[in-house]
Amino acid sequence: MLGMLIHTLLISEVQANEWITQISEPYELQSGGTWNRPFPTPEGWKVFLGGSALRIADLQKQNSQWIVENIRVISDRDEQHFNDHAIKKCPDGSFLHMASYDLNNFNDSAHVWRYDVDFSILASVVWEEGSLERQYNDGSILCSRLSQGIASSTRGGPMDFGNHYFSIDRAGNKGDLVVLEDYPRLNGGAIFADEQAELIYGLGMDHGQPLHINTYDRDWNTLSEKIISLDIGTKRAYWPQGIIRVGAYYMLSFMGRDDTWGNGDLGDVYVAILDLDWNVQQIQQITHYERNFAMRPWISRDGEQVLIAYDGDLRFFVVELKIDLDAFGLSADDLDTGVDPTLWGAYDENGCACGGGNAMGMLLIMCFFPWMRRE
């Protein structure tokens, strides 16, 4: 009863906000694992479910409950146990997927797949095995009109920073090494392509540090850097893994926790709304466990509907948000290239082909977080 009262009070408060008008309770999906990544498609919501392999499922809302159906494994290499997963939607509606695994050290190896719009494998390649230079936990990948590739942080001690990026073609072939700015680590952070602004951003934050954003052009020249505070009171912000552009703003999903709780990976999910100059406009707490529970945050959008995804105790959850499109500078009939990125060519620079789904499309991409093994 008390929990329902708290949730009702929170909803009443949220409905007064300018950007987010409604936040649901968390819905647990009928499957377990790690790395829960929903994306909107022209056929409806799909969700990637991570674990030792990668699965795909239909994600539907029935009788006020989100459910998954038609769960099936889409990755190959059945003999290999995979650890962490990163997935992005590509401009043609296909998907890029990278998963880490252990050979000689934790997450010293990676495998990469490309899937078509029906989630059949287009390419499956061993990206790197037994690397002494790079680590692939909490990976950040990019599949945009500006660039497509795999990012990884370099190995080293707590104060040894470095980031590498390799482009990838449709067949899975690796391009030349691009050395990015050393800080922040992109493992546990995000690489995000703003298609509308023709810019690529690298986001991350060291333990107890503010959010650091490097801006690149499509040739990976560094244009600027910015440091901003994700102020959540006495709690520590971390793991800024999901980001999308919505009209004239960015929406960023990240984690927050009280370090007196113990385990540094687990906490509550938050969403920040930032303008296009990365100034924080609002921070909204999404979950209220107030203990070690949630991790691996994600955000994706279809119209006024936004899904926040995370996992906890090897269980998958989504929270449904409703946003005020007018507040974001959009209307209901604006093109949503996150749902169907092939519409990108219809974008008018005087209009807005706005998208969702941490997948990309005219606006987005993302992805993902605290360095080392999560923090």
CA atoms within 13 A on the CB side of 299: 35
DSSP-derived secondary structure letter, 229: -
> In this predicted structure, what is the pLDDT of residue 145?
92
> In this predicted structure, what is the pLDDT of residue 366?
33
Residues paired with residue 37 on neighbouring β-strands, in sequence order:
48
> In this predicted structure, what is the pLDDT of residue 345?
53
d(CA 301, CA 19): 14
The ranges assigned to domains in the chain are: 2-346
First vs last Cα of the chain: how many Å apart? 36
> In this predicted structure, what is the pLDDT of residue 344?
59
> In this predicted structure, what is the pLDDT of residue 337?
73
CA atoms within 13 A on the CB side of 309: 30
Q: Are 220 and 165 in contact (CB under 8 A)?
A: yes
Q: What's domain 2-346's architecture?
A: 6 Propeller (2.120)
d(CA 6, CA 226): 36
> In this predicted structure, what is the pLDDT of residue 331?
82
Q: Are 224 and 215 in contact (CB under 8 A)?
A: yes
The three-state DSSP-derived secondary structure of 57-80 is EEEEEECCEEEEEEEEECCCCCCC
Query: Which tokens sit at 165?
Result: 């990026």
Task: Single out the residue of 205, 291, 190 nearest to residue 244, CA to CA.
Answer: 190
> In this predicted structure, what is the pLDDT of residue 361?
34
Task: Single out the residue of 282, 261, 231 nearest to residue 23, CA to CA.
Answer: 282
Over the chain (375 residues), the average pLDDT of each successive run of 10 is: 42 59 97 96 96 97 95 96 97 96 97 98 98 96 96 82 96 97 95 94 95 98 98 96 95 96 90 98 97 96 96 97 95 77 53 35 33 33
Task: Single out the residue of 322, 319, 284 nearest to residue 303, CA to CA.
Answer: 322
Query: Which tokens sit at 307?
Result: 């899904």
> In this predicted structure, what is the pLDDT of residue 312?
96
